[in-house]
Protein backbone atom coordinates (compact mmCIF):
# COMPACT_ATOMS: atom_id res chain seq x y z
CA UNK A 1 0.00 0.00 0.00
CA UNK A 2 1.22 3.55 -0.73
CA UNK A 3 0.89 6.42 1.74
CA UNK A 4 -2.39 7.68 0.26
CA UNK A 5 -3.95 4.21 0.55
CA UNK A 6 -2.78 3.93 4.16
CA UNK A 7 -4.43 7.23 5.14
CA UNK A 8 -7.56 6.33 3.19
CA UNK A 9 -7.76 2.96 4.95
CA UNK A 10 -7.33 4.55 8.37
CA UNK A 11 -10.25 6.88 7.62
CA UNK A 12 -12.39 3.90 6.58
CA UNK A 13 -11.58 2.14 9.85
CA UNK A 14 -11.99 5.11 12.19
CA UNK A 15 -14.99 6.85 10.65
CA UNK A 16 -16.78 4.39 8.38
CA UNK A 17 -16.76 1.10 10.36
CA UNK A 18 -14.53 -0.94 8.04
CA UNK A 19 -13.59 -4.19 9.72
CA UNK A 20 -12.37 -7.71 9.17
CA UNK A 21 -15.50 -9.52 10.27
CA UNK A 22 -13.73 -12.85 10.61
CA UNK A 23 -10.51 -14.78 10.21
CA UNK A 24 -11.66 -18.37 9.75
CA UNK A 25 -9.36 -21.38 9.72
CA UNK A 26 -10.73 -24.28 7.72
CA UNK A 27 -9.60 -27.69 8.96
CA UNK A 28 -10.10 -31.11 7.34
CA UNK A 29 -11.28 -33.79 9.77
CA UNK A 30 -11.49 -36.61 7.23
CA UNK A 31 -8.62 -38.42 8.95
CA UNK A 32 -10.50 -38.29 12.28
CA UNK A 33 -13.13 -40.84 11.28
CA UNK A 34 -13.12 -43.93 13.52
CA UNK A 35 -15.46 -46.79 14.32
CA UNK A 36 -15.07 -45.89 17.99
CA UNK A 37 -16.93 -42.62 18.64
CA UNK A 38 -14.78 -41.74 21.65
CA UNK A 39 -11.57 -42.13 19.65
CA UNK A 40 -13.02 -40.12 16.78
CA UNK A 41 -14.04 -37.25 19.07
CA UNK A 42 -10.62 -37.27 20.73
CA UNK A 43 -8.91 -37.07 17.33
CA UNK A 44 -11.16 -34.16 16.35
CA UNK A 45 -10.40 -32.18 19.47
CA UNK A 46 -6.65 -32.85 19.28
CA UNK A 47 -6.41 -31.86 15.61
CA UNK A 48 -8.35 -28.61 16.00
CA UNK A 49 -6.27 -27.64 19.04
CA UNK A 50 -3.01 -28.50 17.27
CA UNK A 51 -3.76 -26.45 14.15
CA UNK A 52 -5.78 -23.55 15.60
CA UNK A 53 -4.12 -23.00 18.97
CA UNK A 54 -2.54 -19.71 17.80
CA UNK A 55 -5.41 -18.48 15.63
CA UNK A 56 -6.94 -16.09 18.17
CA UNK A 57 -3.54 -14.77 19.28
CA UNK A 58 -2.41 -14.16 15.69
CA UNK A 59 -5.65 -12.29 15.01
CA UNK A 60 -4.97 -10.05 18.00
CA UNK A 61 -1.38 -9.49 16.86
CA UNK A 62 -2.44 -8.45 13.35
CA UNK A 63 -5.12 -6.15 14.73
CA UNK A 64 -2.50 -4.45 16.90
CA UNK A 65 0.12 -4.29 14.12
CA UNK A 66 -2.13 -2.88 11.38
CA UNK A 67 -4.88 -1.19 13.36
CA UNK A 68 -7.58 -3.11 11.48
CA UNK A 69 -10.42 -4.31 13.73
CA UNK A 70 -10.83 -8.11 13.61
CA UNK A 71 -14.22 -8.89 15.10
CA UNK A 72 -14.27 -12.71 15.21
CA UNK A 73 -11.84 -15.60 15.03
CA UNK A 74 -13.52 -18.79 13.88
CA UNK A 75 -12.91 -22.38 12.82
CA UNK A 76 -14.75 -24.32 10.11
CA UNK A 77 -14.40 -28.09 9.80
CA UNK A 78 -15.30 -30.91 7.43
CA UNK A 79 -19.06 -31.62 7.53
CA UNK A 80 -19.37 -33.84 10.58
CA UNK A 81 -21.80 -36.19 8.79
CA UNK A 82 -18.86 -37.27 6.59
CA UNK A 83 -16.63 -37.94 9.58
CA UNK A 84 -19.11 -39.49 12.02
CA UNK A 85 -20.89 -42.07 9.89
CA UNK A 86 -18.23 -44.74 10.38
CA UNK A 87 -18.94 -44.69 14.12
CA UNK A 88 -22.42 -46.10 13.53
CA UNK A 89 -23.79 -43.86 16.30
CA UNK A 90 -27.44 -42.83 16.30
CA UNK A 91 -26.77 -39.65 18.28
CA UNK A 92 -24.05 -37.25 17.14
CA UNK A 93 -24.18 -35.19 20.33
CA UNK A 94 -20.65 -36.27 21.37
CA UNK A 95 -19.28 -34.75 18.15
CA UNK A 96 -20.97 -31.43 18.95
CA UNK A 97 -19.45 -31.54 22.43
CA UNK A 98 -15.98 -32.27 20.97
CA UNK A 99 -16.31 -29.25 18.68
CA UNK A 100 -17.52 -27.05 21.53
CA UNK A 101 -14.64 -28.10 23.79
CA UNK A 102 -12.07 -27.57 21.03
CA UNK A 103 -13.49 -24.12 20.22
CA UNK A 104 -13.31 -23.13 23.88
CA UNK A 105 -9.74 -24.38 24.19
CA UNK A 106 -8.47 -22.40 21.17
CA UNK A 107 -10.62 -19.40 22.19
CA UNK A 108 -12.53 -18.87 18.94
CA UNK A 109 -15.97 -17.26 18.80
CA UNK A 110 -17.67 -19.96 16.72
CA UNK A 111 -16.95 -23.30 15.11
CA UNK A 112 -18.88 -24.32 12.01
CA UNK A 113 -19.28 -27.70 10.39
CA UNK A 114 -21.91 -29.64 12.33
CA UNK A 115 -23.18 -30.11 8.82
CA UNK A 116 -24.48 -32.47 6.15
CA UNK A 117 -24.55 -32.34 2.35
CA UNK A 118 -27.84 -33.93 1.32
CA UNK A 119 -28.76 -32.19 -1.93
CA UNK A 120 -29.32 -35.47 -3.78
CA UNK A 121 -30.10 -37.92 -1.00
CA UNK A 122 -29.41 -38.87 2.60
CA UNK A 123 -27.30 -41.62 4.14
CA UNK A 124 -28.07 -42.98 7.62
CA UNK A 125 -25.29 -40.72 8.91
CA UNK A 126 -26.86 -37.64 7.33
CA UNK A 127 -30.19 -38.47 8.96
CA UNK A 128 -28.48 -39.00 12.31
CA UNK A 129 -26.76 -35.63 12.09
CA UNK A 130 -29.93 -33.74 11.15
CA UNK A 131 -31.83 -35.42 13.99
CA UNK A 132 -29.02 -34.45 16.40
CA UNK A 133 -29.04 -30.73 15.53
CA UNK A 134 -31.64 -29.56 18.10
CA UNK A 135 -29.86 -31.10 21.08
CA UNK A 136 -26.44 -30.12 19.71
CA UNK A 137 -27.34 -26.44 19.40
CA UNK A 138 -29.28 -26.32 22.67
CA UNK A 139 -26.35 -27.77 24.63
CA UNK A 140 -23.55 -25.66 23.08
CA UNK A 141 -22.75 -21.98 22.64
CA UNK A 142 -20.20 -21.91 19.80
CA UNK A 143 -21.18 -24.79 17.51
CA UNK A 144 -22.90 -23.85 14.23
CA UNK A 145 -24.81 -26.20 11.94
CA UNK A 146 -25.69 -26.17 8.26
CA UNK A 147 -27.37 -28.47 5.77
CA UNK A 148 -27.09 -28.18 1.99
CA UNK A 149 -30.45 -29.36 0.59
CA UNK A 150 -30.19 -28.37 -3.07
CA UNK A 151 -27.86 -27.67 -5.97
CA UNK A 152 -28.49 -26.48 -9.49
CA UNK A 153 -27.14 -29.80 -10.81
CA UNK A 154 -29.14 -32.14 -8.56
CA UNK A 155 -32.38 -30.31 -7.75
CA UNK A 156 -34.04 -29.95 -4.34
CA UNK A 157 -34.21 -32.69 -1.70
CA UNK A 158 -37.69 -32.14 -0.28
CA UNK A 159 -37.37 -35.07 2.16
CA UNK A 160 -34.47 -33.27 3.86
CA UNK A 161 -36.40 -30.00 3.88
CA UNK A 162 -39.36 -31.70 5.61
CA UNK A 163 -37.00 -32.95 8.33
CA UNK A 164 -35.51 -29.48 8.75
CA UNK A 165 -38.92 -27.83 9.17
CA UNK A 166 -39.40 -30.12 12.17
CA UNK A 167 -35.82 -29.60 13.42
CA UNK A 168 -36.15 -25.80 13.41
CA UNK A 169 -39.31 -26.02 15.51
CA UNK A 170 -37.49 -28.31 17.95
CA UNK A 171 -34.56 -25.90 18.26
CA UNK A 172 -37.00 -23.04 18.86
CA UNK A 173 -38.59 -24.85 21.77
CA UNK A 174 -35.28 -26.14 23.15
CA UNK A 175 -33.91 -22.58 23.38
CA UNK A 176 -37.16 -20.73 24.13
CA UNK A 177 -35.73 -19.29 27.36
CA UNK A 178 -33.22 -17.37 25.16
CA UNK A 179 -35.61 -16.10 22.50
CA UNK A 180 -35.23 -19.29 20.43
CA UNK A 181 -31.78 -18.00 19.50
CA UNK A 182 -30.48 -21.52 18.85
CA UNK A 183 -32.13 -21.25 15.43
CA UNK A 184 -29.63 -18.48 14.58
CA UNK A 185 -26.88 -21.13 14.49
CA UNK A 186 -28.51 -23.24 11.77
CA UNK A 187 -28.37 -22.35 8.06
CA UNK A 188 -30.15 -24.31 5.32
CA UNK A 189 -28.40 -23.86 1.96
CA UNK A 190 -28.84 -24.30 -1.74
CA UNK A 191 -25.52 -24.36 -3.64
CA UNK A 192 -23.45 -23.99 -0.46
CA UNK A 193 -19.86 -22.81 -1.11
CA UNK A 194 -17.07 -24.90 0.40
CA UNK A 195 -14.93 -21.90 1.42
CA UNK A 196 -17.40 -19.61 3.20
CA UNK A 197 -15.82 -17.99 6.31
CA UNK A 198 -19.10 -16.57 7.65
CA UNK A 199 -21.14 -18.24 10.37
CA UNK A 200 -23.45 -19.88 10.87
CA UNK A 201 -23.02 -21.55 7.48
CA UNK A 202 -19.25 -22.09 7.36
CA UNK A 203 -17.84 -25.56 6.78
CA UNK A 204 -14.58 -26.86 5.28
CA UNK A 205 -15.58 -28.52 2.03
CA UNK A 206 -14.24 -31.92 0.96
CA UNK A 207 -12.55 -30.25 -2.02
CA UNK A 208 -10.45 -28.02 0.23
CA UNK A 209 -6.85 -28.46 1.46
CA UNK A 210 -5.83 -29.90 4.83
CA UNK A 211 -6.08 -26.43 6.39
CA UNK A 212 -6.58 -22.91 4.99
CA UNK A 213 -7.12 -19.35 6.14
CA UNK A 214 -10.18 -17.55 4.76
CA UNK A 215 -11.03 -13.96 5.65
CA UNK A 216 -14.40 -12.24 5.56
CA UNK A 217 -14.29 -8.45 5.28
CA UNK A 218 -17.16 -6.03 5.73
CA UNK A 219 -17.75 -2.35 5.10
CA UNK A 220 -21.32 -1.15 4.48
CA UNK A 221 -20.45 2.17 6.12
CA UNK A 222 -17.55 2.69 3.71
CA UNK A 223 -19.79 2.16 0.67
CA UNK A 224 -22.46 4.50 2.03
CA UNK A 225 -19.90 7.21 2.76
CA UNK A 226 -18.53 6.98 -0.78
CA UNK A 227 -22.01 7.30 -2.26
CA UNK A 228 -22.77 10.35 -0.13
CA UNK A 229 -20.04 12.15 -2.07
CA UNK A 230 -21.74 11.66 -5.45
CA UNK A 231 -25.33 12.70 -4.70
CA UNK A 232 -27.29 13.35 -7.90
CA UNK A 233 -24.99 11.28 -10.13
CA UNK A 234 -26.44 8.67 -12.45
CA UNK A 235 -26.49 4.92 -11.74
CA UNK A 236 -23.39 4.24 -13.83
CA UNK A 237 -21.47 6.56 -11.50
CA UNK A 238 -23.02 4.79 -8.51
CA UNK A 239 -21.82 1.43 -9.84
CA UNK A 240 -18.31 2.72 -10.55
CA UNK A 241 -18.05 4.28 -7.09
CA UNK A 242 -19.10 1.07 -5.36
CA UNK A 243 -16.70 -0.95 -7.53
CA UNK A 244 -13.71 1.28 -6.71
CA UNK A 245 -14.56 1.27 -3.00
CA UNK A 246 -14.93 -2.52 -2.98
CA UNK A 247 -11.49 -2.76 -4.57
CA UNK A 248 -9.98 -0.78 -1.68
CA UNK A 249 -11.81 -2.85 0.93
CA UNK A 250 -10.61 -6.09 -0.67
CA UNK A 251 -6.99 -4.90 -0.64
CA UNK A 252 -7.22 -4.61 3.16
CA UNK A 253 -8.72 -8.09 3.41
CA UNK A 254 -6.03 -9.61 1.21
CA UNK A 255 -3.30 -8.00 3.30
CA UNK A 256 -4.74 -9.41 6.54
CA UNK A 257 -5.44 -12.84 5.03
CA UNK A 258 -1.94 -13.30 3.67
CA UNK A 259 -0.34 -12.06 6.89
CA UNK A 260 -2.46 -14.44 8.99
CA UNK A 261 -1.63 -17.33 6.68
CA UNK A 262 2.09 -16.53 6.90
CA UNK A 263 2.13 -16.31 10.70
CA UNK A 264 0.13 -19.51 11.11
CA UNK A 265 2.02 -21.38 8.36
CA UNK A 266 -1.27 -22.32 6.69
CA UNK A 267 -2.16 -21.65 3.02
CA UNK A 268 -4.20 -18.56 2.19
CA UNK A 269 -7.59 -19.55 0.80
CA UNK A 270 -9.94 -16.71 -0.16
CA UNK A 271 -11.15 -13.25 0.75
CA UNK A 272 -14.93 -13.04 1.12
CA UNK A 273 -15.81 -9.44 0.23
CA UNK A 274 -19.18 -9.09 1.90
CA UNK A 275 -21.23 -6.16 3.08
CA UNK A 276 -22.21 -7.84 6.34
CA UNK A 277 -24.07 -5.31 8.49
CA UNK A 278 -24.23 -4.96 12.26
CA UNK A 279 -26.89 -3.39 14.51
CA UNK A 280 -24.66 -0.31 14.86
CA UNK A 281 -25.97 2.89 13.28
CA UNK A 282 -24.07 3.58 10.05
CA UNK A 283 -23.27 -0.07 9.33
CA UNK A 284 -26.32 -0.96 7.26
CA UNK A 285 -26.93 -2.41 3.78
CA UNK A 286 -30.47 -0.96 3.90
CA UNK A 287 -28.92 2.48 4.37
CA UNK A 288 -26.87 1.99 1.19
CA UNK A 289 -30.01 1.16 -0.79
CA UNK A 290 -31.68 4.25 0.61
CA UNK A 291 -28.64 6.35 -0.27
CA UNK A 292 -28.98 5.07 -3.86
CA UNK A 293 -32.46 6.57 -3.90
CA UNK A 294 -35.11 4.54 -2.09
CA UNK A 295 -37.31 6.25 0.49
CA UNK A 296 -37.23 2.99 2.46
CA UNK A 297 -35.60 -0.37 1.86
CA UNK A 298 -38.41 -2.60 0.60
CA UNK A 299 -39.95 0.05 -1.64
CA UNK A 300 -40.40 -0.74 -5.35
CA UNK A 301 -36.94 -0.66 -6.90
CA UNK A 302 -35.25 -2.36 -3.93
CA UNK A 303 -34.42 -5.49 -5.92
CA UNK A 304 -32.89 -3.45 -8.77
CA UNK A 305 -30.81 -1.33 -6.36
CA UNK A 306 -29.61 -4.45 -4.55
CA UNK A 307 -28.61 -6.10 -7.84
CA UNK A 308 -26.53 -3.04 -8.74
CA UNK A 309 -24.87 -3.06 -5.33
CA UNK A 310 -24.14 -6.79 -5.29
CA UNK A 311 -22.71 -6.81 -8.81
CA UNK A 312 -20.45 -3.82 -8.23
CA UNK A 313 -19.11 -5.24 -4.94
CA UNK A 314 -18.16 -8.49 -6.66
CA UNK A 315 -16.54 -6.74 -9.63
CA UNK A 316 -14.44 -4.52 -7.37
CA UNK A 317 -13.36 -7.48 -5.26
CA UNK A 318 -12.33 -9.53 -8.27
CA UNK A 319 -10.17 -6.67 -9.54
CA UNK A 320 -8.32 -6.57 -6.22
CA UNK A 321 -7.69 -10.26 -5.64
CA UNK A 322 -7.51 -13.44 -7.71
CA UNK A 323 -8.89 -15.40 -4.77
CA UNK A 324 -12.27 -13.91 -3.97
CA UNK A 325 -14.71 -16.56 -2.81
CA UNK A 326 -17.21 -17.56 -0.15
CA UNK A 327 -20.44 -15.62 -0.41
CA UNK A 328 -19.03 -12.22 -1.50
CA UNK A 329 -21.62 -9.49 -2.03
CA UNK A 330 -24.35 -7.88 0.06
CA UNK A 331 -26.04 -9.59 3.02
CA UNK A 332 -29.56 -8.66 4.06
CA UNK A 333 -30.09 -10.12 7.56
CA UNK A 334 -33.00 -8.37 9.24
CA UNK A 335 -31.98 -8.54 12.91
CA UNK A 336 -28.36 -7.53 12.21
CA UNK A 337 -29.15 -4.41 10.17
CA UNK A 338 -30.76 -1.40 11.87
CA UNK A 339 -31.98 -0.06 8.53
CA UNK A 340 -33.73 -3.36 7.78
CA UNK A 341 -35.33 -3.35 11.24
CA UNK A 342 -36.58 0.21 10.68
CA UNK A 343 -37.98 -0.77 7.26
CA UNK A 344 -39.89 -3.73 8.72
CA UNK A 345 -41.28 -1.59 11.53
CA UNK A 346 -42.36 1.08 9.02
CA UNK A 347 -44.24 -1.53 6.97
CA UNK A 348 -41.99 -1.10 3.94
CA UNK A 349 -40.31 -4.52 4.07
CA UNK A 350 -42.09 -7.89 4.15
CA UNK A 351 -40.93 -11.49 3.92
CA UNK A 352 -42.26 -11.65 0.38
CA UNK A 353 -40.19 -8.61 -0.68
CA UNK A 354 -37.14 -10.00 1.09
CA UNK A 355 -37.58 -13.24 -0.85
CA UNK A 356 -37.62 -11.31 -4.12
CA UNK A 357 -34.46 -9.45 -3.10
CA UNK A 358 -32.65 -12.72 -2.33
CA UNK A 359 -32.70 -13.52 -6.05
CA UNK A 360 -29.95 -10.94 -6.53
CA UNK A 361 -28.11 -10.79 -3.17
CA UNK A 362 -25.42 -13.06 -1.78
CA UNK A 363 -27.32 -15.06 0.83
CA UNK A 364 -31.06 -15.41 1.36
CA UNK A 365 -33.68 -15.07 4.08
CA UNK A 366 -31.31 -14.35 6.91
CA UNK A 367 -32.09 -13.80 10.61
CA UNK A 368 -35.83 -13.58 10.04
CA UNK A 369 -37.96 -13.83 13.21
CA UNK A 370 -41.44 -15.28 12.67
CA UNK A 371 -44.30 -16.17 15.06
CA UNK A 372 -43.57 -19.12 17.31
CA UNK A 373 -46.76 -20.93 16.30
CA UNK A 374 -45.74 -21.07 12.62
CA UNK A 375 -46.15 -24.68 11.49
CA UNK A 376 -43.27 -26.88 10.40
CA UNK A 377 -44.86 -27.32 6.94
CA UNK A 378 -44.78 -23.55 6.44
CA UNK A 379 -41.16 -23.33 7.58
CA UNK A 380 -40.24 -26.15 5.19
CA UNK A 381 -42.09 -24.39 2.35
CA UNK A 382 -40.18 -21.12 3.00
CA UNK A 383 -36.93 -23.10 2.77
CA UNK A 384 -38.11 -24.77 -0.45
CA UNK A 385 -39.00 -21.42 -2.03
CA UNK A 386 -35.57 -20.03 -1.22
CA UNK A 387 -33.85 -23.18 -2.51
CA UNK A 388 -35.81 -22.85 -5.74
CA UNK A 389 -34.45 -19.33 -6.26
CA UNK A 390 -30.91 -20.60 -5.79
CA UNK A 391 -31.32 -23.65 -8.00
CA UNK A 392 -33.02 -21.80 -10.86
CA UNK A 393 -30.48 -18.93 -10.79
CA UNK A 394 -27.39 -21.08 -10.19
CA UNK A 395 -26.45 -19.10 -7.06
CA UNK A 396 -26.13 -19.64 -3.34
CA UNK A 397 -29.23 -19.02 -1.29
CA UNK A 398 -29.87 -19.80 2.35
CA UNK A 399 -32.44 -19.63 5.10
CA UNK A 400 -31.76 -18.73 8.73
CA UNK A 401 -35.22 -18.40 10.20
CA UNK A 402 -36.28 -18.16 13.84
CA UNK A 403 -39.79 -19.11 14.96
CA UNK A 404 -39.68 -17.33 18.32
CA UNK A 405 -41.49 -19.45 20.89
CA UNK A 406 -44.32 -17.54 22.59
CA UNK A 407 -44.13 -14.50 20.30
CA UNK A 408 -46.51 -13.21 17.63
CA UNK A 409 -46.23 -10.86 14.65
CA UNK A 410 -45.34 -7.34 15.76
CA UNK A 411 -43.41 -8.40 18.87
CA UNK A 412 -39.71 -7.57 19.21
CA UNK A 413 -37.11 -10.17 20.21
CA UNK A 414 -33.67 -9.22 21.54
CA UNK A 415 -30.74 -11.49 20.64
CA UNK A 416 -27.85 -9.21 21.64
CA UNK A 417 -24.37 -8.72 20.21
CA UNK A 418 -23.91 -8.98 16.45
CA UNK A 419 -27.26 -10.84 16.21
CA UNK A 420 -29.08 -7.67 17.23
CA UNK A 421 -32.85 -7.59 17.61
CA UNK A 422 -35.67 -8.53 15.30
CA UNK A 423 -39.29 -7.54 14.78
CA UNK A 424 -41.39 -10.71 14.48
CA UNK A 425 -42.66 -10.70 10.89
CA UNK A 426 -46.05 -12.06 9.81
CA UNK A 427 -46.16 -15.19 7.66
CA UNK A 428 -48.76 -16.08 5.02
CA UNK A 429 -51.33 -18.19 6.85
CA UNK A 430 -52.44 -20.40 3.96
CA UNK A 431 -51.16 -23.98 4.21
CA UNK A 432 -48.52 -25.50 1.88
CA UNK A 433 -48.96 -28.88 3.56
CA UNK A 434 -50.21 -30.76 0.50
CA UNK A 435 -47.08 -29.78 -1.45
CA UNK A 436 -44.64 -30.39 1.37
CA UNK A 437 -45.95 -33.81 2.38
CA UNK A 438 -45.52 -35.18 -1.13
CA UNK A 439 -41.80 -35.43 -0.37
CA UNK A 440 -39.31 -36.74 -2.90
CA UNK A 441 -37.02 -34.56 -4.98
CA UNK A 442 -37.70 -31.60 -7.25
CA UNK A 443 -35.60 -32.28 -10.38
CA UNK A 444 -32.85 -29.93 -11.50
CA UNK A 445 -33.94 -27.29 -14.05
CA UNK A 446 -33.10 -27.65 -17.71
CA UNK A 447 -30.42 -24.92 -17.63
CA UNK A 448 -28.34 -27.00 -15.19
CA UNK A 449 -27.43 -29.57 -17.86
CA UNK A 450 -24.26 -28.09 -19.27
CA UNK A 451 -22.07 -31.07 -20.19
Closest CA to 392 of 446, 356, 341: 446
- Please check whether the two domains, 24-190 and 217-444, share a CATH topology: yes
Domain boundaries along the sequence of the chain: 24-190, 217-444
CA angle 69, 75, 81 (to 5 degrees): 155
How far, in Å, CA of 391 to CA of 152, rounded? Answer: 4
Please state, rounded to an integer, the average pLDDT across all residues of the chain.
91
How far, in Å, CA of 140 to CA of 161, rounded? Answer: 24
- pLDDT single digits (tens) 164-174: 999 999 999 99
Confidence of residue 1 (pLDDT cuts 50, 70, 90): low
Mean pLDDT confidence for 324-333: 88
Closest CA to 186 of 156, 130, 154, 144: 144
Closest CA to 192 of 181, 179, 201: 201
Which of 4-8, 78-82, 84-88, 367-371 is predicted least confidently?
4-8
Confidence of residue 16 (pLDDT cuts 50, 70, 90): low
pLDDT for 212 equals 96
What percent of the chain has a predicted confidence (pLDDT) above 90?
73
Answer positive or negative: Cα dihedral of 250, 255, 256, 262.
Answer: positive
Class of domain 24-190: alpha beta
How far, in Å, CA of 52 to CA of 49, rounded? Answer: 5
Q: Give me the numbers of helices (H) and strands (E) for the chain, helices first please.
A: 15, 14
pLDDT for 230 equals 95
Q: Are strands 143-151 and 365-371 parallel, antiparallel or unpaired?
A: unpaired
One-letter-per-residue 3-state SS of 127-147: HHHHHHHHHHHHCCCCEEEEE
Contact 424, 370 (CB under 8 A): yes
Topology of the domain covering 217-444: Anaerobic Ribonucleotide-triphosphate Reductase Large Chain (3.20.70)
Amino acid sequence: MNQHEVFETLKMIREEKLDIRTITMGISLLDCADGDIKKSCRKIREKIVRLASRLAAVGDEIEESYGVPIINKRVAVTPIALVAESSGAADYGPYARALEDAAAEVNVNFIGGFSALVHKGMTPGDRALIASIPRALASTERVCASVNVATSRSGINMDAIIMLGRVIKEISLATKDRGSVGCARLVVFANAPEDNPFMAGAFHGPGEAEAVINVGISGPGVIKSALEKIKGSDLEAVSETIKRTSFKITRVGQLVAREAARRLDVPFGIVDVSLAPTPSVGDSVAAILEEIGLERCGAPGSTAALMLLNDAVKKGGLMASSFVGGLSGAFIPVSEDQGMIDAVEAGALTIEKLEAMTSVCSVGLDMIAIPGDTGEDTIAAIIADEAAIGVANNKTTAVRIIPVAGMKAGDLVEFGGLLGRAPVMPVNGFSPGGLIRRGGRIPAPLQSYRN
